[in-house]
Amino acid sequence: MASHSLLLLPGDGIGAEIMKEVEKVVDWFNENSDMTFDTTEGHVGGAAYDRHGQAISDEDMAKALEVDAVIFGAVGGPKWDKVPYDVRPEAGLLRLRKEMELFANLRPAICYPALADASSLKPEVVEGLDILIVRELTGGVYFGEPKEITDLGNGQKRGVDTQVYDTYEIERISKVAFELARTRNNKVTSMEKRNVMKSGVLWNEVVTETHKNGFDDVELDHMLADAGGMQLVRWPKQFDVIVTDNLFGDMLSDVAAMLTGSLGMLPSASLGAPDPVTGKRKALYEPVHGSAPDIAGTGAANPIAMIASFAMALRYSFEEVGAADKVEKAIEATLEKGLRTKDLAKDGDTVVTTAEMGEAIVAELAALN
Ligand code: NAI
Ligand code: MG
């Protein structure tokens, strides 16, 4: 019987509301499967600041480093706009990312057939889409030095950012991409700009080399990142896993996300290096959206991004692919029945609350059993 430990960090705003719905899914698996989840709840963001003046306590941070996966809601809100910079709500998430060394950010773009007409692209282009963007998260131009604005003394200034990648950084992110591809459709497309960037030349070389050394069962393509952007909009179903650097990944993952519709639908994962002894990666799963203070407390929050993030934990941290498929199928079936939270609703749809959507998904899980 597999047992997995989870740290739940609901955070602020709708974070707490959507976390309740994930807990229903976790409880369902505890009662109806041969997996058990050992869950602890902690505090992050404004919720943590209000308790003890830090965006995450040392105890919760230590717990995050210990568990198999962290399930994170969202942080922030106008209530904490004036708190000191280093204890602002976002600092909790940044500390988690830093101390857990989460260098791989996974953003899937899945288009559920029932929502294919909500995309800005033609339904046939997106229907059934299931791709995964693997973005390098801790290196590249957002962090490289020098990073400065200098005064040139002639009335001109110069802004400088530096794109830096070392071999090990490219190697570890490409390994993540190849390993993930093996659990999916076994294809990786690496994107860079080797035609104009030295870091792109190195990226291409290291991905190719990593592929040769232990991953040549996975299909590998290379594409220039600008052409990749065009292809994502033209025919996204040609891709399975896309691996790219921090900057291109930031843009391409936002483009891919919007192929499929609402912010309330988008899950994500951030992974660290495998433990040398157990081989397990540190991991944090969270919806892409924030704490949505404008709808907090109204029951309008869509819990699907949060529940789909838990499905990613099942797939990528626990290798429970069957259970992950099942959660995604339950989401799909709920949408097929026409249930919509307010963010997804069009005229004539049945609008349900956060809790009703969560309960409907659990009912579908039971029906699939
Ligand atoms: P947001 O993602 O919270 O909201 C943007 C819009 O989308 C809002 O109109 C909101 O109501 C809607 N929305 C978001 N998630 C939804 C859901 N699950 N169901 C239905 N509608 C949903 O972004 P915003 O408004 O820019 O930021 C609000 C707060 O969240 C800020 O304090 C920001 O710093 C924080 N934030 C936190 C993130 C995190 O915890 N990882 C990520 C992004 C923002
Ligand atoms: Mg972005």
**Residue range 294-316, pLDDT digits in tens:** 999 999 999 999 999 999 999 99
Cβ of 281 less than 6 Å from ligand 1: no
Instruction: Provide the ipTM.
Output: 0.98
Cβ of 229 less than 6 Å from ligand 1: no
User: How many angstroms does the Cα of residue 107 sit away from the middle of ligand 1?
Assistant: 17
Indicate the average pLDDT of the chain: 95
Mutation pick for ligand 1 pocket among 115, 263, 268, 307 (CB with most ligand atoms within 8 Å): 263
Decide which of 231, 258, 285 is a domain's last residue.
258
Q: Is 235 found in the same domain as 135?
A: yes
User: How many angstroms does the Cα of residue 73 sit away from the middle of ligand 2?
Assistant: 18
pLDDT of residue 171 exceeding 90? yes
Distances (CA, A) of 110 to 40, 103, 115: 29, 22, 10
262 within 8 A of 304, measured Cβ to Cβ: no
Query: So what's the pLDDT on residue 30?
Result: 97
Q: Is 353 found in the same domain as 273?
A: yes
pLDDT of residue 111 exceeding 80? yes
User: How many angstroms does the Cα of residue 268 sit away from the middle of ligand 1?
Assistant: 14
Dihedral (C-alpha) 308, 180, 27, 97: value to the nearest 10 degrees?
-80
Residue type, position 135, single letter: R
Q: How confident is the model at residue 239 (pLDDT cuts 50, 70, 90)?
A: very high
Average pLDDT over residues 237-261: 92
Residue 247 lies in a domain: yes
Cβ of 76 less than 6 Å from ligand 1: yes
| Number of the ligand 1 atom closest to the C-alpha atom of 73 | 40
Residue 117 lies in a domain: no
Dihedral (C-alpha) 356, 357, 359, 360: value to the nearest 10 degrees?
110
Query: So what's the pLDDT on residue 274?
Result: 87
Of 271, 259, 349, nearest to 315 by C-alpha is: 271
Residue 122 lies in a domain: no
Residue 27 marked as a ligand binder: no
Measured CA to CA, the distance from residue 161 to residue 140 in angstroms comes to 10
Decide which of 258, 288, 311 is a domain's last residue.
258
> Which one of the ligands is nearest to 268 CA?
1
Query: So what's the pLDDT on residue 260?
Result: 77
Q: Domain of 231: which CATH number?
A: 3.40.718.10
Average pLDDT over residues 85-99: 93
Most distant CA pair in the chain: distance in Å?
A: 72
Residue type, position 155, single letter: G
Measured CA to CA, the distance from residue 117 to residue 186 in angstroms comes to 28
Residue 115 lies in a domain: no
pTM across the whole model: 0.92
pLDDT of residue 83 exceeding 80? yes
Q: Is 369 found in the same domain as 304?
A: yes
Query: So what's the pLDDT on residue 175?
Result: 96
Q: Is 104 found in the same domain as 1?
A: yes
Preceding amide of 287 cis, omega within 30: no
Report the percent of the chain where pLDDT is more than 70.
99
Q: How confident is the model at residue 186 (pLDDT cuts 50, 70, 90)?
A: very high
Domain range for residue 179?
Answer: 130-258
Q: Which residues pair with 35 in a beta bridge?
A: 2
pLDDT of residue 1 exceeding 80? no
Classify residue 11 as left (phi > 0), alpha (psi -120 to 50) or beta: left
Residue 121 lies in a domain: no
pLDDT of residue 348 exceeding 80? no
CA 101 to chain centre: 15
Q: How confident is the model at residue 242 (pLDDT cuts 50, 70, 90)?
A: very high
Cβ of 257 less than 6 Å from ligand 1: no
Which residues, in sequence order, are CB contacts of 178 under 8 Å at separation 6+?
A: 188, 210, 211, 215, 218
Cβ of 294 less than 6 Å from ligand 1: yes
Average pLDDT over residues 274-283: 90
Q: Is 33 found in the same domain as 136?
A: no
Of 101, 168, 98, 175, nearest to 134 by C-alpha is: 175
Query: So what's the pLDDT on residue 27?
Result: 98
List, by residue number, the catalytic residues.
Answer: 142, 193, 226, 250, 254
Query: So what's the pLDDT on residue 89?
Result: 97
Distances (CA, A) of 42 to 65, 97, 230: 13, 16, 42
Which of the pair, 253 or 260, is modelled with greater confidence? 253
CA 313 to chain centre: 10
Measured CA to CA, the distance from residue 10 to residue 65 in angstroms comes to 17
- How many structural domains are present in the chain? 2
pLDDT of residue 362 exceeding 80? yes
Of 336, 358, 333, nearest to 21 by C-alpha is: 358
Of 168, 171, 170, 182, nearest to 316 by C-alpha is: 182
Residue 107 marked as a ligand binder: yes
